[in-house]
Amino acid sequence: MSYPYQIKSIEQYHQDYKKSVDDPDSFWGAIAQHFQWRKKWDKVLEWNFKEPNVKWFEGGKLNITENCIDRHLATMGEKPAIIWEPNDPNDRVRIVTYNRLHKRVCQVAQMLKNNGVQKGDRVCIYMGMVPELAYAVLGCARIGAIHSVIFGGFSVQSIKDRLEDTGAAFIITCDGAFRGGKDIPLKSVIDDALVGNNLVKKVIVYTRTRTPVSMIKGRDIWWEDEMANAEDQLEAKGPISFPAEEMDAEDPLFILYTSGSTGKPKGVVHTTAGYMIWTTYTFVNTFQYNPGDVYFCTADIGWITGHSYIVYGPLAAGATSLMFEGIPTYPDAGRFWDIIDRHKVNILYTAPTAIRSLMGFGLDPINGKDLSSLKVLGSVGEPINEEAWHWYDKNIGKSKCPIIDTWWQTETGGTMISTLANVTPARPSWATLPLPGVQPILVDENGKEVIQKDDQGLWKGNLCIKAPWPGMLRTTWGDHERCRTNYFAAYENLYFTGDGALKDADGNYRITGRVDDVLNVSGHRIGTAELENAINMHTGVVESAIVGYPHDIKGQGIYAYVIYQGHHGDDELRRQDILQTVTRIIGPIAKPDKIQFVTGLPKTRSGKIMRRILRKIAEGDVSNLGDITTLLDPGVVEEIIKGRI
């Protein structure tokens, strides 16, 4: 298999970019022909950003799993689709060929059908990073059920909310998950989340850790038993195969929750054909993947990066995707390098936070590891700082691998702005050029295009996108209006990313970070409102305000200002109690790094919290707090500065 849509030179990049803007229909129509359709589309693109209403390849019929699996079988059946590296390096590596993947996904499809799952039903998946997670996701897609993967670091209330919002009647989970030295009891968290839930009919439990679990008769069933039944059933009919459901191009493929600046997380909805084409096209072009390459993305499938660049994009491209169960520092900080050495990894895709944390261990963990197979390095999740970029380049890439800094979001489905490895030039801490099909624009607060350059000769503004691309979100589950107000209402006829950016005269972009009340902690999005709500649920907490501050490893740390009333314990115990509450409501990933107790918060006369001031104090920059005379109680600022942690 080769990729007719792979960009091979910078000239071709410019030509393709221009074509994609001048005539998106013929540009994407030509690319779409290289995928497998049951029925060809009637129309490539129809759209308006007002409602918004975006449709790609309408009238087309397909199943994404036929594109990710079946069409590769004749030529690549015995090639590895997934190489699975277990948490414990002494455990057995599993190599899942495309033939084996096909068999397992067909079994999952049959198992889901046997348990009453229908096309359009929602299935929540809460598992560790085992191959069965990939089978589960693809098994849903095979029968047209909509999956919603919940990251294993989320806890009870987050799961309750997602179950309720999706209206899921089915869950697939594990007894537990291994992550480093920890055994995380997933099923028991599901049990807690199911208290009072009458919607969920079946919970399928895959055995990974052999942690004792409660199994309720009639509801909870073992994956192993169900898969064996499905196998017998399918085998009785001949070679194992389960017919893929014929889906419309715009049928929802999955829902993935992500935090915003207000309210509870939103269920971002991605649909079938456009998402498939976007993830494959961007995978093949940014990494310059070539058949036979071993590709290792260190993300978790619980996040969009894992959906798009461990499962769908690579598999649709017939790639070999390495899936890792564990963490970069277990059993020691050389684990990534050990994996690269043993599996002869050619392409590594990881996050700046991982690079920064590994930098802290020095070069010892790298010494003696053969990294010469590496050809391309990728980064995602947050802007990569120059120090980390150079360390990655020099010590991992040995100054011979291009680094691609891929900017994108859960909502964009796949990479939007990135260097194309060995095709377009890289530059430390710059995401560089938009992919064909992506039309960025920088606007000021009023939505006017930024014309004036700043004193560095750069344009600076809020990053928006002018026209649809195939992988964009279509709606937010159950609430289309929320999708409109969140992304399409800030500026007329533009998709607003929530990020700020700089642009140079050559058209390169540098992402500067969120301009809304969303934090980026270790590459994960934390909504301040969501976290404040969780903290406010703790008895004794009257009010709270969350801001981010620069953190050496996480990129941003979480600083909480809390007004507390009550006599229980001392400050330290209260802090611990608040952390417990956050852990129960959202999950350990949202735990504040610092909690400062205050008697008041700086507010405007209309009652709005002045986060700008709190941010400055958290950053330790109190020299210039700006005008504070308009505050309801300016005195409170002095007190907060004094109590700073």
Closest CA to 258 of 299, 300, 304: 304
CA–CA distance, 374 with 236 (Å, rounded to integer):
45
State the minimum distance, in angstroms, from the CB of residue 88 to ligand WT7.
27
* Number of shown-chain residues binding ligand WT7 (CB under 6 A): 23
Applying CB under 6 A, the span of 26-34, 165-173, 405-413, 528-536 interacting with ligand WT7 comes to 405-413
Applying CB under 6 A, which of residues 269, 322, 380, 464 lies at the interface with ligand WT7? 380
State the minimum distance, in angstroms, from the CB of residue 79 to ligand WT7.
27
Q: Does 520 bind ligand WT7 (CB under 6 A)?
A: yes
Confirm if 167 and 339 have CB atoms less than 8 A apart. Answer: no
Residue type, 128: G
Closest CA to 521 of 588, 606, 574, 568: 588
Q: How many helices (H) and strands (E) does the chain have?
A: 20, 30
Applying CB under 6 A, which of residues 60, 318, 334, 383 lies at the interface with ligand WT7? 383
Site residues for ligand WT7, 255-294, by CB under 6 A, read: 258
Q: Does 313 bind ligand WT7 (CB under 6 A)?
A: no
State the minimum distance, in angstroms, from the CB of residue 194 to ligand WT7.
27
Q: How many CB atoms lie within 10 A of CB 65?
A: 28
SS (H, E, C) 469-489: CCCCCCEECCCHHHHHHHHHC
Confirm if 426 and 400 have CB atoms less than 8 A apart. Answer: no
Categorise residue 303: left if φ over 0, alpha if ψ from -120 to 50, beta otherwise.
beta
Question: Between the CA of residue 266 and those of 162, 165, 591, what are the distances in Å?
Answer: 9, 9, 20
Confirm if 322 and 296 have CB atoms less than 8 A apart. Answer: yes
State the minimum distance, in angstroms, from the CB of residue 382 to ligand WT7.
5
CA–CA distance, 76 with 314 (Å, rounded to integer):
14
Confirm if 62 and 37 have CB atoms less than 8 A apart. Answer: yes
Site residues for ligand WT7, 427-446, by CB under 6 A, read: 431
Q: Does 405 bind ligand WT7 (CB under 6 A)?
A: yes
Q: Does 498 bind ligand WT7 (CB under 6 A)?
A: yes
Structure tokens at 253: 């493929």
| DSSP assignment of 492-515 | TT-EEEEEEEEE-TTS-EEEEEES
Closest CA to 392 of 353, 450, 339, 344: 353
Applying CB under 6 A, the span of 181-189, 406-414, 544-552, 629-637 interacting with ligand WT7 comes to 406-414
Site residues for ligand WT7, 147-186, by CB under 6 A, read: none
Applying CB under 6 A, which of residues 514, 554, 591, 616 lies at the interface with ligand WT7? 514
Complex with ligand WT7: residue 265 or 274, whichever CB lies closer: 265
Applying CB under 6 A, which of residues 283, 408, 491, 549 lies at the interface with ligand WT7? 408
Applying CB under 6 A, the span of 29-37, 357-365, 493-501, 560-568 interacting with ligand WT7 comes to 493-501
Complex with ligand WT7: residue 60 or 557, whichever CB lies closer: 557
Closest CA to 319 of 60, 550, 96, 137: 96
Applying CB under 6 A, which of residues 66, 250, 382, 532 lies at the interface with ligand WT7? 382
Applying CB under 6 A, which of residues 300, 499, 530, 532 lies at the interface with ligand WT7? 499
Around 595, how many Cα atoms within 13 Å sit in the side-chain half-sphere? 24
Q: Does 410 bind ligand WT7 (CB under 6 A)?
A: yes
Complex with ligand WT7: residue 314 or 523, whichever CB lies closer: 523
Nearest residue to the partner ligand WT7, using Cβ: 410
Q: Does 407 bind ligand WT7 (CB under 6 A)?
A: yes
State the minimum distance, in angstroms, from the CB of residue 481 to ligand WT7.
21
Closest CA to 259 of 590, 562, 511, 490: 590
State the minimum distance, in angstroms, from the CB of residue 288 to ligand WT7.
17
Q: Give the 3-state secondary structure of residue 388.
A: helix
Site residues for ligand WT7, 52-81, by CB under 6 A, read: none
Structure tokens at 89: 């390096």
Q: Does 406 bind ligand WT7 (CB under 6 A)?
A: yes
Q: Does 419 bind ligand WT7 (CB under 6 A)?
A: no
Sequence-separated (6 or more) residues with CB below 8 Å from residue 167: 122, 199
Site residues for ligand WT7, 219-258, by CB under 6 A, read: 258
Applying CB under 6 A, the span of 283-291, 360-368, 453-461, 513-521 interacting with ligand WT7 comes to 513-521
Q: Give the 3-state secondary structure of residue 328.
A: coil
Complex with ligand WT7: residue 84 or 257, whichever CB lies closer: 257
Q: Does 409 bind ligand WT7 (CB under 6 A)?
A: yes
Helix (H) or strand (E) holding 612: helix 611-619
State the minimum distance, in angstroms, from the CB of residue 133 to ligand WT7.
18
- Residues of the shown chain interacting with ligand WT7 in the complex, contacts defined by CB under 6 A: 258, 304-305, 380-383, 405-410, 431, 497-499, 511, 513-514, 520, 523, 525
